[in-house]
Structure 1
Amino acid sequence: METWELFSIIGTISFALSGAVVAMEEDYDLFGVYILGFATAFGGGALRNLLIGYPINYLWNQTTNFTIALVAMTIIFFFPQLSNKPFKKLDILFDSIGLSAFAILGANYAMELKLPVSAVIVASVLTGIGGGIVRDLLAKRKPMVLHSEVYAFWAILVGVLIGNKFVDTNFELLLLFIVIVLLRLLSVHYNWSLPKRSFKGSTVSLNESSTQKLN
């Protein structure tokens, strides 16, 4: 099995399970679990293919991946005890594995098309986080990438390293996969985040200031 096929299978299973777990957290029925799982597993790849010009029909040729995703979601739905109850922790683990595997896969697709580094980074980010964004939107959640801990940064890092050929061999790709998973889990555990700015407080201050001027 080629390395890119391994990453595809790992990412598909992880994101399918991530979507299924979120659907179960939201009390979706079996159909909802399948929809959310498939959207999470294949949404990012579809967005990537549209943007970088990779054949969109490739998505429909992934019969094996569709089957694997279906089986994985069915197992987690009928045997939820396999998750040992902490759905949130399980969601984070699956999401971390899927993010790493798909970010690497997306970057490799762009390299295969001989695209510039900027396109490699975009392909890595879209493939790595696109499915998660679709999942969160369908589950009526604020997309994790827009407010949570450092998330998209890890996909950007993958794109930079692969696009500049700092990581090239199969062994290096596998090592990068492990490192990104660990960094993602550490960022959740230690709550690493990017700077935030809120206008809520300043809006009040501006209103109060305008009122004082009028008085």
Structure 2
Amino acid sequence: MTWEILTIIGTIAFALSGVIVAMEEDYDLMGVYILGLVTAFGGGAIRNLLIGVPVSALWEQGHLFTVALVVMTIAFFFPKLWVARWLKWGLIFDALGLAAFAIQGALYATNMGHPISAVIVAAALTGTGGGMIRDVLAGRKPLFLRNEIYIVWAMLAGLAIGVGAITGPIGISVLFVCIVVLRMLSVYLKWQLPHRRLG
């Protein structure tokens, strides 16, 4: 049940983030669908490739594709209902998607018996892979490569689950809230990882 809830939250949040980027770039309806679907499911596809799950497993998530398509269709045809709210609350949707998918990816790898390193990578790629593909397709610098702390929070979720520090629905719920809060704080307080420019 927890897995399903996290997956639905992440799918809706990332599908919406794909739609907003597509509309900012003035893509047509098909472009909106493609960018939204890539954002919502791209991270899972990359994760599956790296941890040995057939990519075709994504097609077993028919209900999630339906959810994503419905959300994207409503968002495209009725932008006045949500765009203003997105500009105000979009960061929260992004944080929700990051946390939900990072935890889902970590749980996936853990259930397959993979080592901690693979769990961390699965969490990082599931949490950021879709957004990375979205930004590349839209000609933007991927969010996780910017100064903001982003992928670190996904890796932290993977580490917590991989070492067994987080178990059960309550623990996962607490971790989910922590990742969302840390992501929000890193933006509002302008936390950054060390970086250096040559020249």
User: Normalising to structure 2: TM-score of the pair?
Assistant: 0.96
For 1:129 and 1:189, locate their aligned partners in 2 and report how far apart those are by CA, in whole Å.
Answer: 20
Deviations 1:47-86 (A, max 9, x none): 0000001232210111100000001111111121222526
Structure 1 stretches of at least 4 aligned residues deviating more than 6 Å after TM superposition: none
Secondary structure of 1:85 counterpart: helix
Determine whether 1:132 maps to 2:131: yes
Q: Is 1:122 matched up with 2:121?
A: yes
1:36 equivalent in structure 2 = 35
Query: 1:171 — aligned with what?
Result: 170
Compute the displacement of 1:113 (Å).
Answer: 0.6
In structure 2, what is the equivalent of residue 194 of structure 1?
Answer: 193
Partner in structure 2 of residue 85 of structure 1: 84
Distance 2:140 2:7 in 1: 26
User: What residue is the counterpart of 1:62 in the other structure?
Assistant: 61
Unaligned runs of 5+ residues in structure 2 are none
Partner residue, 2:18 = 19
> What's the offset of the Cα at 1:89?
4.1
What is the SS of the residue equivalent to 1:192? coil
| Overall identity of the aligned pairs, in % | 57
Which deviates the most, 86-95 or 161-170? 86-95
CA-atom RMSD in angstroms: 1.2
Contact persistence 1:108–1:162 (CA under 8 A): yes
Task: Go from structure 1 to structure 2 and tell me whether the alpha carbon gap of 1:43 and 1:93 turns closer, same or farther (over 3 Å shift).
Answer: same
Q: For residue 59 of structure 1, what is the amino acid of its counterpart?
A: L
Deviation at 1:125, TM superposition (A): 0.3
Letter in 1 for 2:35: L
Aligned residues: 199
Cα distance, 1:122–1:170 mapped onto 2, change above 3 Å: same
> 1:185–1:82: structure 2 CA closer, same or farther, 3 Å change rule?
farther
Contact 1:16 1:40 in 2 (8 A): yes
**What secondary structure, in the 3-state scheme, does the structure 1 residue paired with 2:149 have?**
coil
Amino acid aligned to 2:44:
G
Once residues 138 and 61 of structure 1 are traced to their aligned partners in structure 2, the CA distance between those partners, rounded to angstroms, is 25
Indicate the structure (1 or 2) with the bigger Cα radius of gyration.
1
Q: Whole-Å Cα distance in 1 between the matches of residues 138 and 87 of structure 2?
A: 14
TM-score (norm 1): 0.89
Paired with 2:33 and 2:115, the residues of 1 have a C-alpha distance of 36
Distance apart, 1:88 and its partner CA: 4.3
Equivalent residues in 2 for 1:1-20, closer than 5 Å: 2-20=1-19
